Amino acid sequence: MANKIFILDTNVLVHDPMALFNFKGATVGIPSIVLEELDKFKMEMSERGRNSREATRLLDSFRERGSLKDGINLDNGGTLEVLFLVENNLPHIPFYLDINDNKILLTALMTKNNGHDVVFVSKDINARVKADALGIAATDYVKEHISIDEFYRGWTNFDVPAVELKKDFPSILDSLVDKKKLAINEFILLTSQHNPYNYRVFRYLGGRHFRIVHEPLLRWPLKARNPQQLMALDLLLDNSIQFVTLFGPAGTGKTFLALLAALHKVLIEDEYEKLLVSRPVVPLGRDIGYLPGTVEEKLHSWMLPIYDNMEFIMHSSQVSMHLSDIEEDRYDRRNKNKKNIDRRDKKQQQQGTLRSMDELVKHGKLSLEAITYMRGRSIPYQYILIDEVQNLTPHEVKTLVSRVGEGSKIVLAGDPYQIDSPYLDFISNGLVVTSERFRGQRIFGTVYLQVSERSELSKLVTELL
């Protein structure tokens, strides 16, 4: 029987340097061309560069166990070896060999012709297609399988008779505990069988305990527009939940809800010292250095979606304050109240009216940072929002979440249907994978938001285009 060997493409190690250990009991082959590509990438000050350096360090540490050319034993029962092209043993392939990807495929084909059962592992779809055309078994690198139809949404919906919704705790909740394996902090959405707008939301706390989810009392005139937004706010405003993931299509309110809750926690409840917001910079070459100007100017351009949401929250706060002032002026005129009081400043202190992002930054209540500069830090007593996380690998998410210090809360938000990274997809991006792995942890909660709350035009674009 032929020896099975998993040959790893460069992008697998760039995606996850620890991939070397994830083929228990099997042989892992690293083409020599992969080493050259890692050497080229290691100088980059990006996540690709960091992962390349880490993979190279791991390979260097293995040299103490023997020759990588002959193969060394791994702790998981497998073996690791570096594969070289042998000039007098090269098969013919119908691809140009001046491309490293094709040299890696040539190595895989040569290994197969030498009698091995080869599986080519790559995050590159086109490389897998070419491998298949050469008769080489090819697969994506996914440590665990997450079905796009069965991923953990953080909530389950059930239709019940309207009379059940009038009970303090509908009887279906007990039966769900008996019949269905619920995760801690999973939401149960109970909807009337004849009226979808008549519903109640409960959060499972473990055992036979559920908590009724009510509309939160915010100081500003903003509230959830659908059940999933209500669930999200429940997690975002709960101090016992230190880690939250929000995901779903564009326009569902992920970033807006996270900012709203964070500002309320920082400015009104004084639970955290400040709000820290960051986003990956994938479409711009993985580094804001490609943009002109100072760091602040670069971040302003890249943080425009954050600015848009912040301005909407501030506008709502200021409108509420203005309407309140009008009502007070009318009252004063009716009662001939002529006290010289600056009610506006007094009320702003009482109600936490937002003035501008610049003031929040100036007073140390808001920080906008590039992910590049978060590595190696410990961030205590802050409400942290990382947006567009679907463009990060699980390894990158691990690096970010491990930065969370004492008394901090972190929220990851993103749309797994809009991924800019060429080596990530719905089931392998850091946002979805992290949500699956943290499922059931008491300090964690997630919500998949599915209803767009943008304009009618935006909804039509999503549906028709």
* 127 and 235 assigned to the same domain: no
Identify whether 243 is part of a domain.
Answer: yes
Tell me, yes or no, whether 272 lies in a domain.
Answer: yes
User: Which amino acid appears at position 387 of this protein?
Assistant: D
* Residue type, position 312, single letter: F
Domain count, the chain: 2
What is each CA distance from 236 to 255, 319, 348, in whole angstroms?
11, 24, 24
> Which pLDDT score is estimated for 440?
94
**In whole angstroms, what separates CA 417 from the centre of its chain?**
12
For residues 392 and 272, membership in a common domain is answered with yes
295 and 417, same domain (yes or no) = yes
Domain boundary among 139, 173, 191: 139
Quickly list H helices, 240-356. 254-263, 295-302, 304-335, 343-351
412 contacts 397 by C-beta, under 8 angstroms: yes
Residue 198, in any domain of the structure? no
Is 193 among the domain residues?
Answer: no
Same structural domain for residues 127 and 253? no
Q: Give the end of a domain, one of 109, 139, 169.
A: 139
- CATH number for the domain that contains residue 262: 3.40.50.300
Domain that holds residue 48: 4-139
- Give a yes or no: residue 188 inside a domain: no
pLDDT computed for residue 346 by the predictor: 47
Asked if 98 and 244 sit in the same domain, the reply is no
Q: Are 127 and 239 in the same domain? A: no
The verdict on residue 167 lying in a domain is: no
CA angle 410, 275, 370 (to 5 degrees): 80
> In this structure, are 247 and 362 located in the same domain?
yes
Enclosing H/E stretch for 275: strand 274-279
The predicted pLDDT at position 335 comes to 63
Task: Mark whether 133 and 237 lie in a shared domain.
Answer: no
The whole-number pLDDT of residue 378 equals 86
Query: Each residue's pLDDT tens digit in the chain (465 positions)?
Result: 357 899 999 999 998 898 899 888 889 999 999 999 999 998 887 778 888 999 999 999 999 999 999 999 998 888 999 999 988 878 888 888 889 999 999 999 999 999 999 999 999 999 999 999 999 999 998 765 566 667 899 999 999 999 999 999 999 999 999 887 899 999 999 999 999 899 999 999 999 999 999 999 888 888 899 999 999 999 999 999 999 999 998 889 999 999 999 999 999 999 999 999 998 765 434 444 555 555 555 566 667 778 788 888 877 766 555 445 555 555 555 565 544 445 544 444 444 556 677 788 888 899 888 777 776 778 999 999 999 999 888 888 988 899 899 999 999 999 998 887 777 788 888 899 999 999 999 999 999 999 888 767 766 766 676
Among 85, 106, 139, give the residue marking a domain's end. 139
In this structure, are 253 and 372 located in the same domain?
yes
**CATH value at residue 27:** 3.40.50.1010
Q: Specify if 431 maps to a domain.
A: yes
At residue 250, the pLDDT reads 85
Q: Are 122 and 259 part of one and the same domain?
A: no
CA distance 356 to 77: 59
